[in-house]
Amino acid sequence: MLIADITGYTMYLSQSELDHAREVLKNLLNLLIEHTKPPLVISRLAGDAVISYGLQGHAQQGQTFVEMMETTYVAFRRAIELMVLNTNCACNACKNIRALDLKFFVHFGAFGIDRLGGHDEMVGAAVNVLHRLTKNHVTEKTGLRAYILYSDEALRHLGLEEARPAMIPHEEQYEHVGAVQLWLQDMHPIWEAKKEKTHIPFPPEQIMLQVATEIHLPPEQVWDYLLRPEHFNVLAGGNKTEIARRNLGRITIGSTYQCYHGDTIFPQTILEWRPFERILVQTLAPIPVKNIVLLIDYRLEPAAQGTRLVQAFGKPAGPLHGRLMATLLFKSMARIAQRDIDNFKKHVEDDWFRLGIAPAAAPITPEMVGEAVAKSLAA
């Protein structure tokens, strides 16, 4: 269960003109809605917050879930920066936009769903705990205003225990619940690391071979499959794939897909990691000449029926005779590469639909956003 909540909105509202504050909140709520991707289902809007859930068996694995929140946070901060840059208005609502920030609350537990007023209302003891987590002493004890707050249950069920050394342990006491063990992830370092991040270019003239397929799943779900070595192995066309050099349990720049082809390992070392968009790796060419390396670019592009997955192989680098040998080999492998990417498409579609149809989110209409904004302004 997840709540994405705009930080500082109550104070911002008390110091702002309502007309302009209304537009700011509407834009930010729409951004949060847009970034709440399947298989998450939006339960409802609550003033300046978006409440959603994922069902066991349909939920993303832990790293994908965290990357979704991190991507949402970066988009939120960029939206704030653009609002500041694009306004000449001197009113308090426009001057104080920078005071707004974003935090997330994540909990795991059993809950029921009641259909109320056009939305799915989550009910149960675990839901009550989730909402209590929003009333906490995090900022006064740690100074953090932008963070992800995980319950210990959520961290364990997401498989993120290895990330604990990078998190801040925290505890809250609630009446009738007692002590709740929590973990905090500071979001400001995420923004600082990603706001100026440069991308490694891969110009068309450097592409030796390119294949593509269209997968009937959203980019976030295709990305989730690429993170799992047993599924990535289908794309690699190997006997098995393992992940080496994770950082705090997560795959990232410097991690390696160890792809086994018989007794030979072809490591694909990650050079760029752009969640839901791109993985760029460097690998050894499968030829007897040593030190012939090339880039492989995996790109995810939104498509009419889901996601277009593009795999581009760069021209080899190294000694001349090795480059010539690798170029000839890869030109002869075009059919194999297309077969492997088509096999991956079928594999992930079959696996996803084997799980059954995921719950569909009730549509969030502009009227619902306007109603949430009105309630927030009236509070």
Q: What is the pLDDT of residues 61-101, one digit of tens each?
A: 899 999 999 999 999 999 999 888 877 777 777 778 888 99
Tens of pLDDT, residue by residue over 266-324, are 899 999 999 999 999 999 888 878 888 999 999 999 998 899 999 999 998 888 888 88
291 SS3 class: coil
At 195, the amino acid letter reads K
Interatomic CA distance for residues 149 and 141, integer angstroms: 14
At 210, the amino acid letter reads Q
Burial class of residue 95, CB neighbours in 10 A (0-12, 13-18, 19+): middle
pLDDT at residue 154 is higher than 90: yes
Interatomic CA distance for residues 101 and 82, integer angstroms: 14
- Please give the domain boundaries of the chain with CATH numbers for all domains: 2-194 (3.30.70.1230), 204-354 (3.30.530.20)
Alpha helices (runs of H) in 333-365, residue ranges in sequence order? 334-354
Cα-Cα end-to-end distance for the chain: 25
Indicate the pTM of the whole model: 0.89
CA distance to 36, 118, 253, 367, per residue, from 42 (Å): 7, 11, 31, 15
Among the listed residues 109, 26, 28, 73, the one whose alpha carbon sits nearest the alpha carbon of residue 367: 26
